[in-house]
Amino acid sequence: MNIPPQQLLILAGILFAIGVGGFVIRRNLIVVLMSIELMLNAANLTFIAASRMHSTSEVQNLDGAVFAIFVICVAAVEAAVGLALVIAFFRRHQSISLDSLGAGE
């Protein structure tokens, strides 16, 4: 179907802004990780939209799709390492609220 690229870019921008807002507002480390995932998703959406904008009916542009797959891979890595960090943080501070960061040792 035909989705105008402007609408997609605006949608990705709003999604990214929501991710930034969650990253700033929330204190729970896990929700901060989720906000990072939201921002990565917005970037993926932009990649796919741009890939579609640059392909013609003869030549398909696959760069966006391939890069979206790499971004998904990096997001998986980030979730794994981030969760390990959350566990280490919890072991040290007995809490995963970012406010307890200043209260530690």
Whole-number minimum distance, CB 97 to another protein, in Å? Answer: 6
How would you write the chain as a 3-class SS string?
CCCCHHHHHHHHHHHHHHHHHHHHHCCEHHHHHHHHHHHHHHHHHHHHHHHHHCCCCCCCCCHHHHHHHHHHHHHHHHHHHHHHHHHHHHHHHCCCEHHHHCCCC
Whole-number minimum distance, CB 105 to another protein, in Å? Answer: 16
Residues that bind another protein (CB under 8 A): 1-6, 8, 11, 13-15, 17-22, 24-31, 33-35, 37-38, 41, 44-45, 48-49, 51-53, 55-57, 60, 62, 64-66, 68-70, 72-77, 79-81, 83-88, 90-91, 96-97
Whole-number minimum distance, CB 69 to another protein, in Å? Answer: 6
